[in-house]
Amino acid sequence: MQQLIFTNEVKDALAGLVAEMSPSGVYILTDTNTRTIGEELNSFGGKLITIGSGDECKTLESIAKVWEELSMSGATRHSVMINVGGGMITDLGGFAAASFKRGIRFINVPTTLLGAVDAAVGGKTGINFLNFKNEIGAFCPAEAVVISTRYFATLPAEELRSGFAEMLKHGLISDNETYRRLLNFDIAEADLEALLPLLEESVEVKKTIVEQDPREQGIRRALNLGHTAGHALETLALERNEPIAHGFAVAHGLLIEMVLSHLMVGFPSSELYPMAELLKRAYVPAPAITCDDYPHILELMSHDKKNTSASAINFTLLRSPGSVEIDQTASPKNIRIALDLYRDLLGL
């Protein structure tokens, strides 16, 4: 299926992939932040296409610009696109490639930890539309993903922690040993050399799950751990004009859903404290929520697109690290108790 290459020699790896695919043309998509990286990697005469950076550029207008550049420069069904950037670029570029002439091949080169561990692998592509995230898109995996930690050195520390939250999630749904290795890694003072093997392990967890269920009809929902609560926290913060990074919301969402797992399916309470300590060390400030916010948090959770009906709130829960229960419905009462205990654990 999808080829994953873990290397810090990205330029050589890409040149090898392009030679192997012998495309009729190569197009390198970057945003304004990653254009220099795209130029450096271009040892094969590819054409650069650059769009604006940030989630606010993940639009129909941007993708139409990409399609136009492909069309006008004579790209064919046998061309290849290389997406160089964070999740915004690999999501948008993946959908641009998936839909151009009904699908051309593409390669992802994630330049952020969050992109490497999440967006670039697994075939979910798309753009935002109106006010809805990833409303328009396709399930379409990249031919190959080239993953390196070399681009992370210049990223803000916050971005690294944000991506690490998804790694924690992969550890939790995979097995206890993987999870413990992550708890022992100090993301606050990250050693990028030591991060690469952990990242490799983490991406393989995702790849294995996606291969079993590419279109998220069952076990892929394990990857939603932490995200029902996390998305609600993220939206709440956005509504208050105090946006928080996706991974920060997910990290806190993980603890909330671990508490809920304790209440509902017997997840050991002893596992809650190390995660709470990690959050207090690396994911501060915590979202400023009080019990007055609970009704709105519940409402936001009920709008999650993963729910099958408007009245039930769907969660992925854990019996223990590595033992996942998908499609669990929690009562508003249990969610309130979980939020209370979460706030206690963090001293909020």
Nearer to a copy of itself, 35 or 221 (CB): 221
Bridge partner list, 4: 145
**Is there a contact between 131 and 181 (Cβ–Cβ < 8 Å)?**
no
Nearer to a copy of itself, 241 or 309 (CB): 309
State the binding string over 31-60 for a copy of itself (x if CB under 8 A, else -): -----------------------------x
Q: What are phi and psi of 11, to 5 degrees?
A: -60, -45
**Is there a contact between 90 and 120 (Cβ–Cβ < 8 Å)?**
yes
Query: In angstroms, what is the minimal distance from the CB of 262 to a copy of itself?
Result: 30
Among 71, 208, 212, 331, binds a copy of itself (CB under 8 A): 71
Q: Does 152 bind a copy of itself (CB under 8 A)?
A: no
Q: Which span sits near a copy of itself by CB under 8 A: 92-100, 261-269, 293-301, 339-347?
A: 92-100
Query: In angstroms, what is the minimal distance from the CB of 99 to a copy of itself?
Result: 5
Give me the DSSP letters along 163-188. HHHHHHHHHHHH-HHHHHHHHTS-GG
Among 20, 135, 200, 277, binds a copy of itself (CB under 8 A): 135
Q: Which span sits near a copy of itself by CB under 8 A: 97-105, 142-150, 242-250, 267-275?
A: 97-105
Among 8, 76, 208, 212, binds a copy of itself (CB under 8 A): 76
State the binding string over 109-128 for a copy of itself (x if CB under 8 A, else -): ---------------xxx--
User: What whole-number distance in Å separates Cα of residue 207 and Cα of residue 174?
Assistant: 12
CA triplet 92, 4, 173: central angle to 5 degrees?
85
Closest CA to 225 of 198, 265, 185: 265
Rg (CA), the chain: 20
Q: Does 101 bind a copy of itself (CB under 8 A)?
A: yes
Q: Which span sits near a copy of itself by CB under 8 A: 96-104, 179-187, 218-226, 279-287?
A: 96-104
Q: What are phi and psi of 241, to 5 degrees?
A: 60, 30
Q: What single DSSP character describes residue 52?
A: -
Among 77, 180, 280, 281, binds a copy of itself (CB under 8 A): 77
SS3 per-residue string spanning 221-255: HHHHCCHHHHHHHHHHHHHCCCCCCHHHHHHHHHH
**Is there a contact between 127 and 136 (Cβ–Cβ < 8 Å)?**
yes
Q: Which amino acid, 124? A: K
User: What whole-number distance in Å separates Cα of residue 233 and Cα of residue 246?
Assistant: 9
Structure tokens at 290: 């009080």
Q: Which span sits near a copy of itself by CB under 8 A: 151-159, 173-181, 304-312, 315-323?
A: 304-312
Query: To the nearest 10°, the Cα dihedral for 46, 94, 50, 195?
Result: -90
Nearer to a copy of itself, 140 or 265 (CB): 140
Closest CA to 116 of 80, 152, 153: 152
Q: Does 67 bind a copy of itself (CB under 8 A)?
A: yes
Q: Does 130 bind a copy of itself (CB under 8 A)?
A: yes
Closest CA to 298 of 228, 205, 243: 228
Among 2, 7, 33, 134, binds a copy of itself (CB under 8 A): 134
Among 43, 132, 268, 299, binds a copy of itself (CB under 8 A): 132
Nearer to a copy of itself, 39 or 213 (CB): 213
Nearer to a copy of itself, 10 or 98 (CB): 98
Q: Where on the chain is the footprint of a copy of itself (CB under 8 A)?
A: 24, 60, 64, 67-68, 71-72, 76-78, 95, 98-103, 124-126, 129-130, 132, 134-139, 215, 305, 308-309
